[in-house]
Chain A
Amino acid sequence: MTYPPKLAAIIDLFEALSEEEKRENLIAYAEQSKKQEPKPGETFELEDVRKDEECTDTVGIFLQVDAERRVHFSVTLGPQVQTLTKAMTSILCRGLGGSTVEEVLELPADFVPKIVGGQLVRIRSQTVYYILTRMKSACTVWRNRERAGQS
């Protein structure tokens, strides 16, 4: 599987790191998650803000798709969201920005363990897949709307 170029570069970086270095870099990405929030005045074609029970705080996915069907994601995270989820937010916003809707929808999740590392891939760390799932869900809704508009 060929990943979108920006995401592939991030995967390559993480694959070369030790477990300890992975953790340090994940925290660095997590600390950048606020920068992924929508900027003042930005508009989006799709906004999906939800709060799930028990384990996570509110997560908002904001999707903009340009004329060439290339995506731009912004994400808002509540304060209780886990550090790994914050890290994946920054990684995915950067790594998938400029990809097409179809590239996002077809992206397999097998790259996540390459970034997170074996030590952190455990039952609870399934939350690292959460943002990707929500981004794909936003793309699915966008595409369904597009198809409905064409019919």
Chain B
Amino acid sequence: MSDRPIIRVQHIVKSFGDVKAVNDVSFDVRAGEIFAFLGPNGAGKTTTIKMLTTLLRPTSGSLELDGLDPTAHPTEVRKRFGVVFQDPSLDGDLTAWENMDIHGVLYHVPRHARRERCEALLRMFELWERRNDLVKTFSGGMKRRLEIARGLLHTPKVLFLDEPTLGLDPQSRNQMWSHVQSLRASEGVTVFLTTHYMDEADRVADRIAVIDHGRLVATGSSAELKAQTGSDSLEAAFLALTGTTIRDESATAADQMRQVMRVWRR
């Protein structure tokens, strides 16, 4: 583990019109750690991930991923991370293998290495038997596993997981985190995750940052956050830090589309 942080975020701000979705946030993520980014709905988690993954430009402040600025060197930065978005980004009309293969081409993984790594990852995530089936026939848990496997195909240094266990049953969630932990051991990949399940963060994360209303309210290990708030569980610590008010986000176009998709999926 090197001393230089793999992700360095300094005083970033992202405004949408008058709203500051992310307001003066700074933190470091060390190479090889599992870093959990927690916060209520609309706190700025996804916006931060989008900035780190080159999909949004920060309004001000500086970002670094493996020493590179995502806004100045998007292509170089993109080679260095894999990402699983909150909403699915698989092609349901293609097979698991085809989804993997296209990813390999997009990331310039040479043909031979591509085949080997696709096979190794599909086996590891227990999808090898189903590799020639269309992804739309997969369960929610299988799709998530496939997305993670795909995100790892080009051996990234950082893996971003934005609420990867949302909508999964406890069995699938449990299995998912076992996979993530063994990956860190075998590949040394840094994992940056968001989740609403505090027990998950407590179990897998080395360090945790809590964001609320676009501002960072606490950073530290699970034990440190509990000690800081005098709580006996991470959930209690989280509520102590962010309050108990329910956050009503105004519905965006994406939310409306999610609504439609839920109906369509039945």
- The yes or no verdict on A and B being binding partners is no
B contact residues vs A (CB 8 Å cutoff): none
Chain A interface (Cβ within 8 Å of chain B)? Answer: none
